[in-house]
C-alpha cells in the first residue's frame, strides 16, 4: 500500500507544532516577568533564569526539528503532487518561530543586564532571525530546484 501525503497532514503538524511552541513561550514569558510582581532573592532569580534558559533551549530544538520535518514533508508533497506552496509556508514558519525565539532571548539578555548578572558582550538577537530566514530560504530554493529538475528529467532510453 502506497502512502500519499495529503495537504491537511502538513497543516495539522504545523498547527500542533505552533501550539507547543506557543505554550513554551507563554510559560517562559510568565516565569521571566513574575519578577515584576514578586520579590526574588538573587538565588531564586538565578534559578528562575536557569529554568527559562532550559525552556528556550527546548524551544530552539523544537523549532529546529519541526523546520527540518516541514522541509522534508514539503519536499515529499512537491515530489508527489508538483505543488510547491508548502515551501513558502515552511519559510514563513521559520521566520515566525525564529523571530519569537530571538525576541525571548533578547528579553533574557535585557533582564540579565538589569539585574546585574550580565557577563559582558552585546546582543545580535535582532539580526539573527533575518539571517536565519534568508539562509533557510536559500536552502529551500536549492531543494526546490533540485526536486523540480529530478521531476522533469526524462528517463533515458537504452
What DSSP assignment string belongs to 126-138?
TTHHHHHHHHHHH
pLDDT for residue 3 is more than 80: no
Question: pLDDT tens-digit profile of 65-97?
Answer: 888 888 988 898 898 888 888 899 889 889 988
Residue 62 included in any domain: yes
Q: Is 157 part of any domain?
A: no
Are 53 and 59 spatial neighbours (Cβ–Cβ below 8 Å)? no
Predicted pLDDT at 139 = 94
pTM of the model: 0.77
- Going by C-beta distance under 8 Å and a sequence separation of 6 or more, which residues neighbour residue 46? 117
User: How many folded domains does the chain comprise?
Assistant: 1
Q: Cα(136)–Cα(95) distance, rounded to whole angstroms?
A: 9
Instruction: Answer yes or no: is 127 within a domain.
Output: yes
Q: Report residue 143's pLDDT band, with 50, 70 and 90 as the boundaries.
A: very high
**Range of weakest confidence among 34-38, 77-81, 133-137:** 34-38
Assigned domain for 121 exists: yes
Q: Is residue 24 part of a domain?
A: yes
The torsion of the CA quartet 61, 65, 71, 76, rounded to 10 degrees, works out to -170
- 2 domain-assigned: no
Q: How many CA atoms lie within 13 A of 78 on its CB side?
A: 25
Residues 45 and 35: beta-carbon distance below 8 Å: yes
CB 29 within 8 A of CB 108: no
Amino acid at each position: 500500500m502506497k502512502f500519499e501525503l495529503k495537504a491537511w497532514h502538513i497543516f495539522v503538524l504545523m498547527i500542533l507544532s505552533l501550539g507547543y511552541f506557543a505554550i513554551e513561550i507563554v510559560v517562559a514569558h510568565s516565569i521571566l516577568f513574575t519578577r515584576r510582581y514578586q520579590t526574588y532573592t538573587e538565588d531564586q532569580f538565578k534559578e528562575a533564569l536557569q529554568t527559562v534558559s532550559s525552556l528556550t533551549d527546548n524551544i530552539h530544538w523544537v523549532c529546529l526539528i519541526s523546520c527540518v520535518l516541514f522541509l522534508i514533508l514539503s519536499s515529499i508533497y512537491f515530489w508527489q503532487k508538483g505543488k510547491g506552496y508548502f515551501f513558502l509556508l515552511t519559510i514563513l514558519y521559520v521566520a515566525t518561530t525564529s523571530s519569537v525565539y530571538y525576541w525571548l532571548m533578547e528579553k533574557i539578555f535585557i533582564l540579565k543586564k538589569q539585574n546585574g548578572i550580565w557577563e559582558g558582550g552585546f546582543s545580535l538577537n535582532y539580526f539573527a532571525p533575518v539571517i536565519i530566514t534568508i539562509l533557510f530560504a536559500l536552502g529551500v530554493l536549492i531543494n526546490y530546484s533540485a526536486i523540480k529538475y529530478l521531476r522533469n528529467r526524462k528517463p533515458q532510453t537504452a
